[in-house]
């Protein structure tokens, strides 16, 4: 059997239910739009476990997501969606490309969350775009974009609070959304939420607990992911 889709960190497989797919987390890690590559034996398992717990929590708080149920250590059932080709990034503190673009020092806290959009395209290097680009490229309607913005801010509030209970500062993160195939007009949170697509800093030590350990060759990548999972499990009751 062939996957329906293979991305850098996940594969999507058909199931018997046409409205449901199996999403498999791979052990591959990439950075800088796939330029830097490595394999981490446990990454699929850790990200699947972290992401599923977070999606279950968001669902409980009224955020609609693609999550259906965890199948096993590296597989989850998700609703079939048409991915909106816009990555939604929310920032609470300056880091990463924000610092590179502006010269601001890493760690400056913002007075309010910064939202940015980029086109989901490795070939183009995920370019930063604004609302007008998104409208003219027909990536999303203005109404859909408003929904993405509102949902992203709500996710930020919920997750900032959740991760602080884990002793972690949610510095920034990336979300992807999709249009439900069997429920036209409904947009849900898709993809994953894991240390691959979030910056998480230990609240006490400031230590980086996310994919920046890989991007910057800091070592201890899986140790950090394992620690994030342990804290997420504790905060969600095992
Ligand atoms: P950035 O500072 O590199 O723009 O990244 C902001 C956040 O978004 C960071 O937590 C990592 C995440 N991200 C992804 O998950 N995928 C991507 O392709 C990019 C560019 C960022
Ligand atoms: N997710 C992107 C990649 O895999 C960028 C990044 O996370 O640094 O290349």
Tens digits of residue pLDDT in 20-51: 999 999 999 999 988 999 999 999 999 999 99
Rg (the chain; Cα; Å):
17
**From ligand 2's centre to the CA of 156, what distance in Å?**
20
Residue 59 host element (H or E): helix 43-60
CA of residue 20 to ligand 2 center, whole Å? 26
Q: What is the pTM of this model?
A: 0.97
Tell which residue, 88, 216, 85, has the closest CA to residue 152: 88
Clarify whether residues 211 and 94 are in a common domain: yes
The Cα–Cα gap between 235 and 215 comes to 27
94 and 209, same domain (yes or no)? yes
- 191, 97: one domain: yes
Determine the pLDDT at residue 146: 98
Residues of the chain with pLDDT under 50: none
Q: Whose CA is nearest to atom 15 of ligand 1?
A: 197
The predicted pLDDT at position 201 comes to 99
Distance 197 CA to ligand 1 centre (A): 6
Same domain, 105 and 201: yes
Measured in Å, residue 113 CA sits from the centre of ligand 2 at 22
Atom number in ligand 1 closest to CA 118: 20
For position 1, what pLDDT does the model report? Answer: 86
Determine, yes or no, domain membership for 55: yes
Q: Are residues 67 and 110 in the same domain?
A: no
Nearest alpha carbon, ligand 2 atom 6: 31
Distance between CA 24 and CA 13 in Å, rounded? 8
Domain that holds residue 17: 5-81
Same domain, 121 and 147: yes
In this structure, the answer to whether residues 54 and 90 fall within a common structural domain is no
Residues with CB under 6 A from ligand 2: 8, 30-34, 211, 215
Asked if 153 and 200 sit in the same domain, the reply is yes
How many Å apart are CA 174 and CA 183, to the nearest integer? 24
115 touches 90 (CB < 8 A): yes
Number of domains observed in the structure of the chain: 2
**Residue 188: which CATH number?**
3.30.470.20
Residue the block writes with tokens 């476990």? 49
pLDDT on residue 91: 99
What is the residue whose two structure tokens read 């791979």? 26
Cβ-in-10-Å burial (0-12, 13-18, 19+) of 167 comes to middle
What was the pLDDT predicted at 208? 98
Among 81, 116, 132, the domain boundary falls at 81
């Amino acid at each position: 059997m062939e996957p329906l889709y293979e991305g850098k960190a996940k594969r999507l497989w058909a199931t018997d239910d046409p409205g449901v797919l199996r999403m498999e987390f791979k052990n591959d890690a990439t950075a800088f739009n796939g330029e830097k590559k490595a394999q981490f034996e446990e990454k699929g398992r850790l990200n699947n476990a972290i992401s599923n717990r977070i999606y279950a929590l968001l669902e409980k708080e009224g955020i609609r997501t693609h999550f259906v149920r965890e199948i096993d250590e590296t597989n989850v059932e998700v609703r079939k969606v048409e991915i909106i080709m816009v990555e939604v990034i929310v920032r609470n503190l300056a880091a990463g490309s924000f610092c590179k673009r502006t010269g601001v020092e890493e760690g400056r806290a913002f007075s309010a969350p910064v939202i940015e959009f980029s086109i989901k395209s490795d070939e183009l290097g995920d370019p930063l775009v604004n609302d007008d680009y998104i409208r003219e490229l027909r990536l999303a309607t203005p109404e859909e974009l408003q929904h993405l913005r509102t949902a992203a801010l709500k996710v930020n509030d919920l997750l900032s609070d959740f991760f602080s209970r884990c002793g972690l500062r949610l510095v920034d993160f990336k979300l992807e959304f999709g249009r439900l195939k069997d429920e036209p007009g409904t947009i849900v949170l898709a993809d994953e939420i894991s240390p691959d697509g979030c910056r998480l800093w230990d609240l006490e030590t400031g230590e980086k607990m996310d994919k920046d350990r890989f991007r910057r060759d800091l070592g201890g990548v899986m140790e950090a992911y394992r620690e994030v999972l342990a804290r997420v499990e504790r905060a969600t009751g095992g």
